[in-house]
Structure 1
Amino acid sequence: MKITKNFKILISTLMTFILILSCINISYSAGEPFDIQAKSAILIDASTGHIIYEKNIHEKLAPASITKIMVLLLAMEAIENNKISLDDEIVVSSNAAGMGGSQLYLEEGEIQKVRDIIKAICLRSANDGAVALAEHIAGTEETFIKMMNNKAKELGMENTHFKNATGLDEEGHYTSAYDISIMSKELLKHPKIHDWLTLWMAEVKVGKEKDVVQGLVNTNKLIHDYKGANGIKTGYTSKAGHCLSASATRGSLTLISVVLGCKNSSIRFNESKKLLNYGFANYDSIVLAKKNEIIKKLPVSKGKIDKLTIVIQDDLSILVKKGNNNNIEKEVVLPDYLNAPVEKGKKVGEIIVKINNQEVNRVNLVTTREVEKANFLDMLKKMINNILGN
């Protein structure tokens, strides 16, 4: 009888222990599927911004040369807005030429074209080139830094503050993995930047006489040895550690991974591959509509024209998990008609996408042209045309 009682106690203890282990296992599986050897890390879908993996993503950290993603973003916007051109000649200042760290070894007073400076920033992470470009765009580095912070605020980068255009360690210069993913996503929207982000090797002639050839090799090794890699930027300082914002595309899916504060260069590349591999193995992107696709023609009340074409403002895609039963719903929200006057590019509606009744994406519907309000003669002409038509 005593043995039976001890046996019951033993079984009860074992069952309790097994239950505790089960709870621990359930708790782990409900969290992230693996750990990343970095202070902070994130993996997102570049199209929707959906977060697939996260680790300390809002922690403020030194970003090193990943800072230059913002420099490149502002440069692409300046080019597309015709503020500068790729063939503009930059006169290198003493301030730019005096930058330390990774550089192109530019001389004060030498002239370089914008396209070659961008190339040097993308491949060698040239600090002197970044400052020279910043001064060309804004006039002074200080003014450009204000532009960087204004753009960060505009993009919703709440844990970011820039103190320089290079990423060299400086008190008060910080960002987060999440904020880096935001500006990386924004940079990839500019088609021209891919000409440089995907280069493995190139050359640039430097010096006042252009008598020295600098061979450039992309600091992002994934461009060379990872399938579909197409960006974006490495970084290293003693304070920041080894950092990388990486992007890759396979099929219709583009992913962005960010790792900050890795102990060495090999770890940052291996952990970035781990994140990207996980994303491509488990997710797909479905394209539902392309930018400028015509959605509808809406009647215009009291306008100089009777109907106005409405298009989708940006590509519309959704991220779906492979193997899941995804019930996709698409709702078009538009008014029955528009009242003149109407501005070109005005938001007049939305497309909302849901998977299994949960919203996963939405995109604006906009007008394709301006419509002025009709005057008396316009209305009379319409009336006569209607009568003749009938």
Structure 2
Amino acid sequence: MKQLCLGLILVFLMTSLAPFKAFAESAKTNGAPAIKSEAVILLDANTGSVLYEKNSHTQLYPASLTKMATAIYAIENGNLDDVVSVSAKAYETEGTRVYLEEGEQVTLKHLIQGLLINSGNDAGVAIAEHLNGNTRSFAKSLNQYLKEKIGVEQTHFTNPHGLFDENHYTTANDLALITKYALKNPIFREIFGTKELAWDGESWDTTLFSHHLLLRGEIPYEGITGGKTGFVQESRYTLSTSAEQGELSLIAIVLKADRNEYAYEDTVALLDYGFDNFEVAEVATNEKFFGEQNESYHLNKPLKYTLKKNESVQVTMNDQGVLRVLGDDGRKLASTQLKMDIPKELEGTRAEINPVDLAKKNHIPAILMFVFLGVGIVYLQKTIKNMKKST
């Protein structure tokens, strides 16, 4: 009987994972990926280039992807060694939890780990109350932080965890920006990429496992560095994934997938599309660029950009000293403000010079010429007038 039960369990596991393994092995595509989810975006985290998008500016419900924003906000605005006292409200929070007890003492960092790795809604409330007193004040501060610090434009959060609220929404594009910003922080990056963590709670001693199947390796994929899952009925399945291969560092956001396997299938298709079809190039610092007055400009550091493999690009500079890299279809791959080289005669007088200054300098000879010409005309008119008087 035991052998029969074990056999049935094994068959169930194999059949439940088979769809994931099948599309993981067969999802490679030479063209644009076929996407089932409502909205997606694929972003190169190093260059900021958008490699693919579908409805990326459509406002949707993020579910637990909200917790990425809560985590980076807490890391940057709190003391990770602070000991947090868990409130009754945090203890009573519904949904996925790390089973905090009322009055339990937990460090802020441990709460952030429980928030991201096990998607603990109770940990989110405890973090919010510790940092801002209550979840409403926390949401107000979080929204301001996301707008001013990260530059999101279509996001409004009402809670720290992503449980459904009709006024709690964001976009795939904004979530990609949040993920891109957060991954620059080594603490967030470490927790975001944690597959498992021992959890010694007051009422729950266990090992937390990431819910993200690509990060855990249940869906094999080379180079996965982090991930967060989400689900509520109104948002359906949501997924954030980061992966690196060579110089490419990709972020894939998937929103409103009707089935869990669709979210992963779309993520794998996006990553395959990015790694198979794109590469990183740069404009070197030793390249010089010249304006209309022959003034020269330079880069302070190499300008990296992401382009399609074997794509030709055009590098141009406008009259304001802004360098732009354009793809062969005219799309902007990168842009930056150049620095103007200091003329030798001005060395030691100014740290830098702007285009208007140099334009004025280069026009000085012409201005002097017109001044002398004007003086000459006035002198000639007076001479003619005096000659008429003498006659």
TM-score under structure 1 length normalisation: 0.68
Aligned counterparts of 1:113 and 1:191: Cα–Cα separation in 2: 18
Structure 1 unaligned spans of 5+: 1-31, 79-83, 296-309, 335-348, 367-372, 374-390
1:321 matches 2:319:
no
CA drift at 1:325: 3.2
Shift of 1:351: 6.5
- Tell me which of 247, 252, 256 is aligned to 1:252: 247
Aligned-pair CA distance for 1:256? 1.0
1:115 is displaced (CA, Å) by 1.9
> Are 1:233 and 2:228 matched, yes or no?
yes
Aligned residue-pair number: 295
One-letter identity of the residue aligned with 1:214:
T
Q: Percent identity?
A: 33
- Which SS does the other structure have where 1:90 is aligned? strand
Greater relative contact order, per chain length (Cα 8 Å cut-off, separation 6+): 2
Distance in 2 between residues matched to 1:42 and 1:181, nearest whole Å: 7
1:212 aligns with 2:199: no
CA shift, 1:128, in A, is 0.7
Aligned counterpart, 2:82: 88
- Residue 146 of structure 1 aligns with an amino acid whose one-letter code is K
Q: 1:123 to 1:359 in 2, by over 3 A?
A: same
Mapped partners of 2:331, 2:265: distance in 1:
34
Q: Select which of 95, 107, 110 maps to 1:113.
A: 107
Contact preservation (8 Å) 2:49, 2:305: no
Structure in which a larger fraction of residues adopt helix: 2
Where structure 2 has 5 or more consecutive residues not aligned to the other structure, the ranges are 1-30, 288-298, 340-349, 351-391
Pairing 1:1-390 to 2, within 5 Å after superposition: 33-78=32-77, 84-154=78-148, 155-207=150-202, 212-223=204-215, 224=217, 225-286=220-281, 316-326=303-313, 329=315, 353=325, 359-363=332-336
The CA distance in 1 between the partners of 2:175 and 2:80, in whole Å, is: 25
Q: Take 1:321 and 1:180, find their aligned partners in 2: how far apart are those partners?
A: 24
| Deviations 1:1-58 (CA, angstroms, capped at 9, x unpaired) | xxxxxxxxxxxxxxxxxxxxxxxxxxxxxxx824211111111111232222111212
With over 3 angstroms needed to count, the CA separation of the structure-2 counterparts of 1:77 and 1:331, relative to structure 1, is farther
TM-score, length-scaled by structure 2: 0.68
Q: Quick one: distance in 1 between partners of 2:58 and 2:223?
A: 29
1:162 match: secondary structure: coil
Cα distance change on mapping 1:331 and 1:241 into 2, 3 Å: same
Contact 1:283 1:320 in 2 (8 A): yes
Q: Deviations over 1:87-138 (max 9, x none)?
A: 2211111121111111101011111112211111121111111111122222
Deviation at 1:216, TM superposition (A): 0.6
In structure 2, what residue type is equivalent to 1:69? M
With over 3 angstroms needed to count, the CA separation of the structure-2 counterparts of 1:205 and 1:171, relative to structure 1, is: same
Paired residue secondary structure (2:305): strand
Whole-angstrom CA distance in 2 between matches of 1:133 and 1:250: 34
Q: Which of the two has greater strand per residue?
A: 1
Indicate conservation of the 8 Å contact 2:322/2:335, yes or no.
Answer: yes
Matched to 2:309, the amino acid is K
Structure number, greater radius of gyration? 2
Give the direction of change, closer, same or farther, for the CA distance of 1:316–1:114 in structure 2 (3 Å limit).
farther
- Per the alignment, do residues 61 and 355 of structure 1 end up closer, same or farther by CA in structure 2, a change over 3 Å counting? closer
Counterpart amino acid of residue 96 in structure 1: A
Residue 70 of structure 1: how far off its partner (Å): 0.9
Q: Residue 311 of structure 2: SS of its match in structure 1?
A: coil
Taking structure 1 as reference, are residues 324 and 294 closer, same or farther at Cα in structure 2, changes over 3 Å only? closer
Give, as a single letter, the amino acid of the residue that structure 1 aligns with 2:268.
K
